[in-house]
């Protein structure tokens, strides 16, 4: 299984954010998405998750294409964005248990995921009382509960300390060792030494190259 | 199937939490109806005459109160993104969430309606029609409301916009739900009005999940 992205074009509110983005990530590999603020890293990950519609290009995971079979494609994807999808009114354990239930995952995975991120001792605590870092770990623990081959992580280490960031890189390495694919948008060095790097650059507004062309102005472009 | 139940349990649990909106709907419904005799006066004939209409209007407003949080909360904390990647179709998720909304808002109103009906001097033999009408009519309030909630999901303070969008769509349910009780009061056959109320609910059950899911997909961008 490999992720192949070709000539991806994405618009947000009519503005071109991604244009001609293309790369291939083979199975068992991680890729780091880099680029300055506002370059379109989050847009790229949301588009690859199928949440944001793509206006042109193709995305293929194994033999499933995003445009051909969106629901089939989306069932291969786990996405961890800026928001943790944590309900403050529920306990840490309930929060994760619900997603395990919705995805029909085994309940043993919940305990394992909480254990990996070191939050099993606060399993009975309402999420409202958790720190930002604990909530983020809870959000990332969902990745372990869902059994999905393609991981899309958007700044996963925000509000995490060094030790917890190490847990995230461990998890990504383990996921890739099992044949999975991970795309991580990050500004810090996660220690994924063999990861591919995908550079996202801001799209420059297109100029009309021959604006003084008489034919063009005469209506040749119609 | 287990995924459906997990989502249903989650939404009911969240609605029953403080600030979840579950108790607000029924509390508003009861208070609204209790205010009617205070404003209109205790004359029995007048109260019985307007009882059905008042109960239904109060039910529409009470259903609206908790609707604006139906998708808004999930949108704000990122759960909606996760729903889009879940193994269930988004349409199914909308339907389950509407059912949870009905169970926490509509069902308590159905249970409270006969008590409030007696308070408004409705004859006891009319109460079964009132209960039946509320039971088959209020699901449409949650279902049609889900469309409005999905359209306004990205709008700050969208609750006001939601009311203006959704209340006109509640008119058919209001007309036929109240008409059934009125017919029973006049010793006419209430079944045609009840059947039309049921028809509205069935049509909204068939259409609302698709309309709301489409609106959510657009707003998730």
How many CB atoms are closer than 10 A to CB B210? 15
Report pLDDT for B193. 96
Residue A77, beta-bridge partner list: A150
Query: If you count DSSP H runs as helices and E runs as strands, how many of each does chain B have, helices first?
Result: 11, 0
Contact B111/B120 with Cβ under 8 angstroms? no
pLDDT at A210 exceeding the cut of 70: no
**Contact B119/A at CB under 8 A:** no
Contact B13 A90 (CB under 8 A): yes
Query: What is the average pLDDT across A196-203?
Result: 84
Pairing verdict, β A56-61 and A30-34: unpaired
Q: Which residues in chain A touch residue B7, judged by CB atoms under 8 angstroms apart?
A: 98, 101-102
Per-residue tokens: B152: 């306004």
Contact A102 B221 (CB under 8 A): no
Counting residues of chain A whose pLDDT is more than 90, the rounded percentage is 43
Report pLDDT for B220. 83
Query: What is the average pLDDT across A22-49?
Result: 90
Q: What is the pLDDT of residues B146-162, one digit of tens each?
A: 999 999 998 888 888 99
**Smallest Cβ distance to A102: which of B20, B81, B86?**
B86
Contact B81 A101 (CB under 8 A): no
Q: What is the mean pLDDT of chain A?
A: 87
Q: Cα angle vertex B104, ends B22, A92, to 5°?
A: 65
**Contact B160/A at CB under 8 A:** no
pLDDT at B24 exceeding the cut of 70: yes
Distance CA A30, CA A195 (A): 5
Name the residue with higher pLDDT: B221 or B12. B12
Among candidate residues B105, B106, B124, B104, the one with its CA nearest the CA of residue B114: B124
Report pLDDT for B28. 93
**Contact B10/A at CB under 8 A:** yes
Report pLDDT for B3. 86
**Contact B207/A at CB under 8 A:** no
Give the full edge-to-edge strand order of the sheet including A56-61: A15-26, A2-12, A56-61, A64-65
Query: What is the average pLDDT across A39-65?
Result: 90
pLDDT tier, A217 (very low <50, low <70, confident <90, very high otherwise): low
Distance CA A29, CA B203 (A): 49
pLDDT tier, A105 (very low <50, low <70, confident <90, very high otherwise): confident
**Contact A84/B at CB under 8 A:** yes
For CA atoms B170, B4, B211, B162, give the dihedral sign: positive
Q: What DSSP element (H or E) covers B146?
A: helix B127-151
Tell me how close the Cα of A71 comes to any Cα of chain B, in angstroms: 8
**Contact B14/A at CB under 8 A:** yes
**Smallest Cβ distance to B3: which of A85, A102, A142?**
A102
pLDDT at A150 exceeding the cut of 90: yes
**Chain A residue closest to B74 (CA)?**
A85
Tally the C-alpha atoms within 13 A of residue A204's C-alpha that lie toward its C-beta.
3
DSSP state of B21: S
Q: Which residues in chain A touch residue B9, judged by CB atoms under 8 angstroms apart?
A: 98, 101
pLDDT tier, A206 (very low <50, low <70, confident <90, very high otherwise): low
Q: Which residues in chain B touch residue A12, judged by CB atoms under 8 angstroms apart?
A: 221
Query: What is the average pLDDT across B91-98?
Result: 96
DSSP state of A207: P
Residue A91, beta-bridge partner list: A126
Report pLDDT for B118. 94
Query: What is the average pLDDT across A36-59?
Result: 90
**Smallest Cβ distance to B81: which of A71, A79, A103?**
A79
Interface of A with B in 134-193 (CB under 8 A): 139, 142
Per-residue tokens: A60: 């293929």
How many CB atoms are closer than 10 A to CB B218? 13
Report pLDDT for B69. 85
Query: What is the average pLDDT across A22-43?
Result: 89
Q: Which residues in chain B touch residue A87, judged by CB atoms under 8 angstroms apart?
A: 10, 14, 77, 79
Report pLDDT for B18. 72
Distance CA A150, CA A161 (A): 25
Report pLDDT for A207. 54
Q: What is the pLDDT of residues A113-133, one digit of tens each?
A: 999 998 889 989 999 999 999
Distance CA B154, CA B135 (A): 31
Tell me how close the Cα of A56 comes to any Cα of chain B, in angstroms: 16
**Smallest Cβ distance to A101: which of B2, B84, B220?**
B2
Report pLDDT for A213. 59
Tally the C-alpha atoms within 13 A of residue A167's C-alpha that lie toward its C-beta.
23
pLDDT at B31 exceeding the cut of 80: yes
Q: Which of A202-206, B28-32, B101-105, B115-119 has the lowest mean pLDDT?
A: A202-206
pLDDT tier, A212 (very low <50, low <70, confident <90, very high otherwise): low
Q: What is the mean pLDDT of chain B?
A: 92
Contact A79 B88 (CB under 8 A): no
Q: What is the pLDDT of residues B129-186, one digit of tens each?
A: 999 999 999 999 999 999 999 999 988 888 889 999 999 999 999 999 999 999 999 9
**Chain A residue closest to B218 (CA)?**
A52
How many CB atoms are closer than 10 A to CB A154? 21
Among candidate residues B170, B193, B173, the one with its CA nearest the CA of residue B181: B193
Q: What DSSP element (H or E) covers A177?
A: helix A162-177
Contact B77 A49 (CB under 8 A): no
Distance CA B87, CA B104 (A): 25
Contact A195/A32 with Cβ under 8 angstroms? yes
Crossing angle (nearest 10°) for helices B171-185 and B44-67: 150
Q: Which of A9-13, A86-90, A218-222, B63-67 has the lowest mean pLDDT?
A: A218-222
Report pLDDT for A15. 84
Distance CA B162, CA B79 (A): 21
Query: What is the average pLDDT across A38-54?
Result: 90
pLDDT at A222 exceeding the cut of 80: no
A75, A78, A102, best to mutate vs chain B, most B CBs in 10 Å: A102
Give strand ranges (E) for chain A. 2-12, 15-26, 30-34, 56-61, 64-65, 77-80, 150-154, 181-185, 196-199
Contact B85 A86 (CB under 8 A): no
């Amino acid at each position: 299984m490999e992720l192949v992205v070709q000539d991806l074009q994405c618009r947000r509110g009519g503005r071109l954010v991604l244009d001609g983005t293309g790369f291939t990530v083979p199975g068992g590999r991680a890729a780091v998405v880099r680029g300055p603020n506002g370059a379109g890293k989050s847009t790229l990950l949301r588009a690859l998750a199928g949440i944001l519609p793509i206006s042109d290009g193709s995305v293929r995971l194994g033999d499933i294409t995003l445009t051909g079979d969106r629901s089939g494609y989306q069932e291969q994807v786990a996405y961890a964005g800026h928001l943790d999808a944590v309900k403050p009114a529920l306990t840490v354990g309930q929060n994760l248990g619900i997603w395990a239930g919705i995805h029909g995952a085994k309940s043993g995975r919940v305990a394992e995921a909480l254990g990996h991120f070191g939050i099993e001792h606060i399993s009975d605590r309402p999420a409202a009382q958790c720190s930002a870092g604990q909530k983020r770990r809870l959000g990332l623990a969902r990745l372990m509960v869902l059994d999905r081959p393609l991981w899309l992580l958007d700044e996963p280490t925000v509000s995490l300390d060094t030790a917890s960031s190490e847990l995230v890189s461990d998890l990504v390495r383990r996921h890739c060792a099992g044949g999975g694919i991970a795309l991580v948008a990050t500004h810090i060095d996660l220690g994924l030494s063999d990861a591919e790097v995908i550079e996202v650059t801001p799209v420059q507004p297109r100029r009309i190259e021959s604006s003084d062309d008489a034919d063009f102005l005469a209506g040749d472009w119609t | 199937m287990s995924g459906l139940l997990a989502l249903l349990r989650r939404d009911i649990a969240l609605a029953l939490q403080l600030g979840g909106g579950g108790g607000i709907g029924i509390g508003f419904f009861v208070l609204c109806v209790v205010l009617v005799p205070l404003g209109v006066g205790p004359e029995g004939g007048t109260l019985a005459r307007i009882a059905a209409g008042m109960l239904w209007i109060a039910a529409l407003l009470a259903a609206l109160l908790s609707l604006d949080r139906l998708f808004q909360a999930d949108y704000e904390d990122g759960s909606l993104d996760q729903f889009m990647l879940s193994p269930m179709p988004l349409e199914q998720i909308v339907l389950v969430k509407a059912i949870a909304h009905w169970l926490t808002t509509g069902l308590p109103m159905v249970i409270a309606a006969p008590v409030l009906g007696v308070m408004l001097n409705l004859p006891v033999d009319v109460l079964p029609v009132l209960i039946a009408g509320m039971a088959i009519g209020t699901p449409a309030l949650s279902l049609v409301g889900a469309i409005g909630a999905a359209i306004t999901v990205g709008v700050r303070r969208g609750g006001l916009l939601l009311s203006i969008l959704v209340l006109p769509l509640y008119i058919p349910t209001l007309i036929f739900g109240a008409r059934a009780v009125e017919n029973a009061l006049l010793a006419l056959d209430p079944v045609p009005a009840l059947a039309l109320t049921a028809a509205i609910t069935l049509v909204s059950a068939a259409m609302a999940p698709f309309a709301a899911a489409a609106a959510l997909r657009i707003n998730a961008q």
